[in-house]
């Protein structure tokens, strides 16, 4: 799955590059590669059969991610960011659930509307991502840890600014979901983002 994600991403990037060179040359709008990181405060919800409960993240329950991608510019107002993201989840514990470890890989598409200023660009973006999540969890009353890897998706919205220097700062809200056999996990919460655009 991870190899397929990388292949799909490379195909998309080079395909778009081949069709967007003339747009870049004709209007001079900046676009290019970027890398960055997110830090999130997440709540977790697990739904197993008819049992539903929530495990609320504590101060130590922080998720982090890093990403690298390419931004395409279609005109002065609209951009499309595409990136590959690697995400980790720390322990999330409640009376009924312990998520001891988790990681995920996503291929993300982030269309965004921008407002240009002399010092940079303000933006409002949406995130649609799909990929794979590996997660280990233990239920109350059991000692067995379940380890599975399944398809995952994420949706989000983000507001921020990218300065002319290439440094960007943002804040957003995201929802990440995956199904592991008869268990459905949903993570949601706010995050802060920092990036550098080349």
Share of the chain above pLDDT 70, in %: 62
| CATH T-level assignment (fold) for domain 2-197 | Porin (2.40.160)
Q: What is the pTM of this model?
A: 0.76
Indicate the domain borders of the chain: 2-197
Q: Which two tokens stand for residue 64?
A: 């982090």
pLDDT, tens digit, 9 for 90 and up, residues 42-62: 777 766 654 554 444 343 467
Torsion of CA 70, 7, 19, 130, to 10 degrees: -60
pLDDT of residue 24: 41
């Amino acid at each position: 799955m991870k190899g397929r994600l990388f292949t799909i991403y490379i195909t998309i990037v080079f395909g778009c590059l081949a069709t967007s060179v003339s747009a870049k040359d004709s209007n001079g709008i900046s676009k290019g590669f970027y890398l960055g990181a997110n830090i999130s405060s997440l709540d977790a919800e697990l739904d197993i059969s008819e049992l539903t409960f929530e495990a609320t993240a504590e101060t130590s329950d922080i998720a982090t991610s890093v990403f690298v991608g390419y931004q395409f510019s279609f005109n002065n107002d609209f951009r499309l960011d595409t990136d590959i993201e690697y995400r980790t989840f720390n322990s999330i514990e409640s009376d009924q659930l312990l998520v001891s470890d988790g990681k995920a890989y996503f291929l993300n598409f982030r269309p965004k509307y921008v407002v240009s200023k002399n010092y940079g660009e303000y933006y409002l973006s949406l995130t649609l991502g799909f990929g794979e999540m590996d997660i280990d969890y233990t239920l109350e009353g059991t000692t067995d840890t379940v380890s599975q890897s399944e398809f995952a998706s994420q949706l989000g919205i983000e507001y921020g600014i990218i300065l002319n220097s290439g440094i960007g700062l943002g804040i957003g809200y995201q929802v990440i979901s995956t199904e592991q056999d008869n268990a459905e996990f949903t993570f949601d919460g706010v995050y802060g983002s920092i990036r550098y655009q080349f």
